[in-house]
A and B are shown apart, each in its own frame.
Chain A
Amino acid sequence: MEMKKTIIYVAFICITIGLLFTSCEDMFGDFLDKQPSNELTKDQVFSDWNTARQQHLDTYNFFRNGAGRINSTWLDATTDLAETSFSGGVKLSFNIGNYYGGTGSPELIETWEHFYRGIRKCNMTLEYIEDVPKDPTDSDEKYIIDKANFVSEARFLRAYFYWELFKSYGPTPIVKEVLDPDGDLLTGYSTRPSIKEYVVDFILSELSECEAGLMNYEDGAKAANAGRISQPMARALYSRIMLYMASPRFSGESGVTWADASTASKSFIDTYGSNYSLFKTSDATGTAYTNAILRTTYQGNNTETIIFRNSVQIGWSAISNDTPVGEGGNGGLCPSQNLIDMYDMADGSSPFTQYDATGAPVYSGTLTPSVNIVSGYSDQDMWENRDPRLASTVLFHGVSWGNGIINVIKGQRDNPVGNANATPTGYYVRKYIPENVLSNVHSGRSYRNWIIMRYAEVLLNYAEAMNEANGPTQEVYDALDEIRHRGGITGNVTSRTDLTTKEALRNFIRKERTVELAFEEHRMWDVRRWNVAVEALSRPIYGVEVETGGAIARKMVQTRPFDQKMYLYPIPEAEVWKTNIENNPGW
């Protein structure tokens, strides 16, 4: 009896455990498999057309918005065109030559990181898009076209990102693959390419090669696509880079001539001259020049903008950092007298007798350059009768703006005592700031896209290259007049007797370029490519003091150091250690 029981129990237990174990084996077979989870993986992203597309189009976010780019300060505040009123801005870093310290220094690291992140994104599209299956609702044809289009777009964007890196750091390692963090990150990236390898053989050739696969102008201009990269953009960027490469700083290494550069610009004008033009509509909200900046291609029929960072409508918070303190803003970007002095008179004559290769009048140690008497210019009414673009770019004492009148007399509305944000130069910025945002107690809204390239630049590129290649010709004068007339200047360049030599015209073109493209992130790079950065950027920043009676006195605002090494940013120190690449000269 007892024995039987024992056998039954033992059998029972054995069977139970046996069953448990066998079923456990089964259960354990997939027990550690990945559970359904909400992480989106690379495989998932690139196995669906829609997610792959979203991954690709998100790359557009790497177009930087120049307004407030460095610690709420604009890039142009690091040039002779402006000073910032922010003590936390670049005033105490870049502008006193302290690249590594202070609050401006994140620009040095962030620029590097930002674009290499963008580049990785492009590389992802390029590497993985081929195998992404078609969206079932798309036709085979659309699938093929879209795919080719994405690839070309990614190549364009990648070339643009490398170009931006080049301007700041010079040639940097070219990464054309999606790097594996576990893999070898040094081989191939520890040396720096030459300018020719980097710009000519890579960036420029990428731009030419990708052009065909991009949307043509008509498709790019379609309601659904505005803002997407299209063929003219590649052509336009190409013209700009060619101009840089033909410039004194780079031509020796690049092998690009002024003739090549003029051809590149001409090619854009010839091909797309009927699609793009200077925007000439002036109305109650602004001059043609103002509108050319603030109107969008898609809402305001702006045919001038070529490449831009698309932004939705902005309100007070987006501009308050660059609005006069009397309006309740924080001052921000404050144009310098140096910029004011570069504007011609309304009739096209020069207020000063002599200009140098930086485009600025020659100060020869005084606060006021020697005045060209014939022009009728006087310091006491310095804002009268000037190139209308001055008033469209700068807010000066006495102009009506927003909800009041600019008053920079010490202790008055826009220059109160003790307000650190009050303008140091006596000016506030007007360009790029939509005035209608200020209406109804700052409740207005407006579009404001950040312009990366516009048609006026192509004309200026063309004029500069043509003058350098062929000296003063009618084509050069025409291009300049087209821009100046749109800006509101009445006279013609041909009627100027002082612009008959290539050299005189060169300085004039540089001044014209600086004025037309002020605050659009050109000055910083232009003075470098012209090899005149030391002259332009070590010059003191001037401003004005408006006295109680209304008398205007010039003053010095800031002395600025600029060493040869500052032509390029230092490559972030840690990156140099990590990759063994050579840092830029002097750093």
Chain B
Amino acid sequence: MNTRLINKPAGIGKFLFVGILLLIAVATLHAQEGKTLKGRVVDAMGEPVSGALVNVSESSRIALSDVDGIFNLIEVNENDELYLTAVGFVDASVKAEFRDNFTVVMQTEVNDHTFTMPVPFGRKEDRFITDATSVVTGDELKKHPITVLQNAFTSTVTGVSTYEWASEPGWTESAIYIRGLRTMNKSARAPLVIVDDVERDLSFLDAYPIENITILKDAASTAIYGMRGANGVIMVTTKRGQAGKTKIDFTQEFGYQTLSGKMEVQNSYNMTLTRNQVRYLSGNDPMYTSDQIEKYRRVSNGEKLEGIDQYKYFSTNWFDELYRERAPMNRTNLTVSGGNKNTRYFVAFTHLRHEGMWNDKWTEYNPGFSTQHMLDRFNLRSNIDIDVNKYLNVSLDLGGRIDHISQPLRGVFDIVTFGAVEGNPMEPVYAPGGQIYSSSSAQNAGRLLASSGINKNRRRNVYSTVNVTGDLGDLVSGLKANATVSFDSYETFMAQQSNNVNSYNYNYTSNTVTDPSEYTLTQYSVYSALTNPSTTPREYYYNVNTRFGLSYDRRFDKHAVNAQAFVRSYQNLTHGSQSSNRFLSYNAQANYIYDNKYILSGNISHMGNDNFAPGQQFGTFPGASIGWVASEEEWLKHKNINLLKLRASLGRAGQSNTGVRRYPYQGTFDSGTGYNFGTSQSSISGITESAAGNYNSKWEISDMANIGLDFDFFNRKLYGSVDAFKEWRSNILVTRATVPILLGVTAPQDSYGKAESRGFELMLGHQNKVSDFHYNVEFMLSMNENKITEMDELDPNVEWQRKTGKPIFDYTHVAELYEGAFTNSIGGWNMYHFVGWASEADKVAISHQDAIDNPDKYPYHTASGTGQTLGTAVFKDLDGDRKIDANDMTPSGYTIIPQLIPSVNLGFSWKGFDARMILTGYLNRSAFLSPSISFSGWSNMGTHEVTKAWGYYTDDPADPRNINATYPRPTWGGYSAIDSERSTSTYMNDIWIKNGNFLSLRNVEVGYSLPLQLISKVNLTKCRIYFSGYNLTTWSQLPDGTDPEKPMSYVWWYPKTSSFTFGINASF
């Protein structure tokens, strides 16, 4: 019953598949009316073209030309429009002629970079693009079997880093940074996401309808987005129908996810050794006798104990109770596109099903319902273009997404942390009678899952755009008018149901019990059936975008001119307490190309936002770039120089999303504490000033210069691009350190800060073939670095803590990185520097004076009271005052966002086989670990790597206390104040802040395509089966089983996973 319930939506894929087979059958069995057309396909030299697909326009019946270029297409009528495609040739279309020697000439495709690419509000030939941009194609995106699109960026384009901070099905989120951090304001770093020229949500888009994603990196290209473009723009363009063949594309993927790394936990035997050693170090008696240790050793080895011992000694791996081996996921896509010269359409439907990693032994514990994570996502996209007549084109784009997420009602943090991370291996899973064991100190991952209840979330998004273009060419040649209105709606619902299960505990440590019947069970939790859902009112917001403008595009002899001017408005309407956010901009773009060689391009946006003070709402953002297509010069023109282009740009863009409250210019008041007056003590509600207004809370400004080079030699035998940039960021909101408290109200943040960034991006590619063997290699490298140049800083106590002039760290308290929902925090800190462990008792200073008087002693640590415990850290005394205090901290290392990202992409194809692999490194990066993952959970639940702790039991007589340990001494009942106290700043030291560099095998894909000759018989143009693995393995210096991308989050929250997918892709 359960399994059927769970599998129900998965049937959609099969249903679709059957439907398509039917469709094919119908098409094949179609009554034979027309005649068979015989013809020949040749290239410009008259040589036969084999493998060309021929079909009648708007139909999907095909024929394939043979080695002589000859094809036979059935059911062709006189005057039918034929449509031909072949690899390496330009698509051709001709009228069918029933005559002998009917020949179609196909032009060889020339690699001259004249294909067009989307640019903001238009398209441009690739060779004329003069901005710093990178493109990810839709085909590339499809290869990443992941639910978050942007994770595919890092390894496939330069200048972008992503940071996955939640992997829970349905809630997967990544933060994206283009060209690094660039601003101290954590809230002002997100790039702008534009989907089909409208600001939209990216994270839940689906790869299939995407033509490509363009990353706009320099300010000259993003200036047109005014005060939204400073962090770069991710511009998504969806696919549109093409006149010609009706294309049906079907993909079915089956896959599963596994844990990408399993944290090694201590077994009970190690626990006994650890605990005894910890007690020994503190001068206490051992906790376990050698008899007990022996029994724990045996259970830990998997032995089954005899008699009553089996109810006393356990070695439970709580992670095994928590997670299952693999979680299924599957994805089905059907795309249909085509059209004629008047109407074109593109329709895609995708269903994604993604289950969670929770152990199904427990999620299916209750009959009738499951507490597993289950995401069902339905994406629909329909883009229709209609040429109403010669003058009027209308397009209607509709997109929709429905997410059904069912998940445990109990929070993921609770389940993972209390269920397993802090679980004691000595505790049993079951009571002697087979009941679930549970107590307040042993939460039992199984019980937490089984009694978790169900939280159902529904999300419904609708994206719609109507675009009307009028050709005014009869009036002024090249002139067009354009109007676009779009309306997007986002809604969420939630329904929650709770349940409970019976669980019991018994005193398994009792020494007197000799028979299991003597145990008395104490009930810990009581069964309750699944409750009726309690629903939360739905949340919704919607966005309205409009754009009205004129465009002009004309070529006079050697002069090509393209220009447009338009007005854009954007408003975001929310049902919450905020009023709608509004933007209005007046924009113009112009492009001039002389003789295909010299390019001059400029754009300007005059944009206003209602969040700023009247009269100060608008800013002007210009950008300009120049380019020289050297490969077009007569003296350089050569068939082996396909492209050589030099370019330079300079621009200004803004960032108005600074995390500041609504209307920061106005001071606001809030309800105060109130006060009681009078004999009846009536309370008067108070009003108090909550924030001072600041007219200088503005948008950030990014001025950026970029130079670049694009090249392609020997027909992609050597191709690539290089970009170097420098950014001057200003107007960064900073806390005014110099505003005195006597102002009487918290000084508002002020757009006062400045920062500078610079970096480069390099991409080199090589593509070649040796007979049938095609291969390609791409190497990418992105680098960026930054520094704070102005932040209104008070003079620090010690020079090395000055922030101005240093790289941007987030000087956040470590706790923010450590707990909380792990949102966008990215790290960076002042920290102590580890020198060694205090291992010699006579070197411990008992006071500051003692340390001064005895220079050979360890410097005195202010947190250590009258003396440091052995096995805690000795830190570097930076100021040489023989005292370790806050002055001895200094920023060090990097942030968790890498400075250097190399990436290698390898691919080959041979006959029908193809394979590829992506390797990505994140370098110059620091990651934060927590003591509890290393040797001690909150309640001394020894976990991982405790054997690397100081003082841990070791057999090496030369190092009896393991004094060259990696971690400090584990202590009984808590942490040492010096190196691991979580509540104090002493926690910040480089024992826990590690080199976070890692190398990741992101993606491997292997495929086989059935020969065209075979499949064309059933009108298939493509049939490929493939296997793809994502996030396969990582290499780093972090402890085993911790994912380097975000080590702490993946310990306490939903785990990081690897995905494996088998798929079939068929096109008609």
Contact = CB atoms under 8 A, between A and B. Distances in A.
B29 interface: no
A21 B582 CA distance: 19
B874 to A, nearest CB: 22
Contacts of A39: 661-663, 666, 668
Given A58-B675, A574-B794, A40 B548 contact: no
B674 interface: yes
Contacts of B662: 37, 39
A35 B472 contact: no
Determine which residue in A9, A58, A227, A579 has the highest number of CB atoms from chain B within 10 A of its CB, and name it.
Answer: A58
Interface in A19-46: 20-21, 24, 28, 31-42, 44-45
Interface of chain B, main secondary structure: loop
Contacts, number: 208
Interface stretch (A130-138, A177-185, A521-529): A177-185
B666 A41 contact: yes
Contacts of A120: 689, 743-745
B741 interface: yes
Given A9-B389, A224-B677, A119 B666 contact: no
Interface stretch (B498-506, B552-560, B692-700): B692-700
B687 A41 contact: no
Contacts of B668: 39-41
A489 to B, nearest CB: 33
B366 interface: no
A501 to B, nearest CB: 46
A249 B332 CA distance: 87
A298 B681 contact: yes
B474 interface: yes
Nearest to A35: B579
B110 interface: no
A181 B696 CA distance: 10
Interface stretch (B591-599, B609-617, B950-958): B609-617
Nearest to B885: A101
A146 to B, nearest CB: 14
Interface in B303-353: none
Determine which residue in A32, A228, A578 has the highest number of CB atoms from chain B within 10 A of its CB, and name it.
Answer: A32
Contact of B676 (A44, A172, A185, A310): A310
Nearest to B676: A310
A6 B391 contact: yes
B554 to A, nearest CB: 17
Contact of B474 (A6, A41, A117, A181): A6
Interface string B15-39: 0000000000000000000000000
A117 B689 CA distance: 10
A55 B579 contact: no
Contact of A179 (B608, B682, B744): B744
A13 B483 CA distance: 11
Contact of B577 (A38, A113, A119): A38
B289 interface: no
Interface string B606-634: 00111000100100000000000000000
B493 to A, nearest CB: 25
A121 B741 contact: no
A185 B743 contact: yes
B748 A121 contact: no
A181 B676 contact: no
B349 to A, nearest CB: 34
A376 interface: no
Interface in A556-579: 572, 574-575, 577-579
B565 to A, nearest CB: 11
A121 B673 CA distance: 14
A82 to B, nearest CB: 24
Contacts of A273: none
A55 B632 CA distance: 73
A123 B744 CA distance: 10
A219 to B, nearest CB: 12
B674 A58 contact: yes
Interface string B650-693: 00000000000111001111101111111111111111110011
B582 A310 contact: no
Interface in A337-385: none
Contacts of A1: none
Contacts of B739: 181, 185, 578
Nearest to A124: B689
B667 A35 contact: no
B675 A61 contact: yes
Contacts of B550: 17
A185 B743 CA distance: 7
Interface string A81-121: 00000000000000000000000000001001100111111
Contacts of B747: 181
A9 B679 contact: no
Interface string B477-488: 000010100000
Given A116-B742, A181-B694, A298-B681, A17 B470 contact: yes
Contacts of A227: 675-678
Given A10-B391, A34-B663, A225-B678, A42 B669 contact: yes
A173 interface: yes
A16 B741 CA distance: 58
Interface string A238-261: 000000000000000000000000
Contacts of A24: 546, 548, 567
Nearest to B578: A37
A44 B668 CA distance: 10
B24 to A, nearest CB: 43
B614 A34 contact: yes
B672 A577 contact: no
Nearest to A44: B669
B789 interface: no
A187 to B, nearest CB: 12
A120 B748 CA distance: 15
Contact of B687 (A14, A58, A181): A58
A13 B579 contact: no
B609 A32 contact: yes
A575 B580 CA distance: 39
B687 A55 contact: yes
B1022 to A, nearest CB: 42
B85 interface: no
B692 A310 contact: no
B137 to A, nearest CB: 35
A563 B579 CA distance: 57
Nearest to B613: A34
A173 B741 CA distance: 11
Given A35-B610, A116-B743, A117-B744, A55 B681 contact: no
A121 B744 CA distance: 8
A13 B472 contact: yes
A574 B686 CA distance: 31
Contacts of B767: none
A175 interface: yes
Interface of A: 6, 9-10, 13-14, 16-17, 20-21, 24, 28, 31-42, 44-45, 51, 53-55, 57-58, 60-61, 109, 112-113, 116-121, 123-124, 172-173, 175, 179, 181-182, 185-186, 189, 222-228, 298-299, 310-312, 572, 574-575, 577-579
12 contacts: A9-B389, A13-B472, A14-B472, A16-B470, A31-B582, A32-B610, A37-B578, A40-B669, A58-B684, A119-B744, A120-B744, A577-B794
Given A42-B666, A310-B677, A575-B740, 18 more contacts: A9-B392, A13-B392, A31-B584, A34-B579, A40-B670, A54-B687, A58-B675, A61-B673, A120-B689, A123-B744, A181-B739, A185-B740, A223-B678, A223-B679, A224-B677, A224-B679, A224-B682, A312-B676
| Complex A-B, nearest 8 residue pairs according to Cβ-Cβ distance, in ascending order | A120-B744, A58-B686, A35-B579, A298-B679, A13-B470, A58-B672, A37-B579, A578-B740
Interface of B: 389, 391-392, 470, 472, 474-475, 481, 483, 546, 548, 550, 567, 569, 577-580, 582, 584, 608-610, 614, 617, 661-663, 666-670, 672-689, 692-696, 736-745, 747-748, 794-795
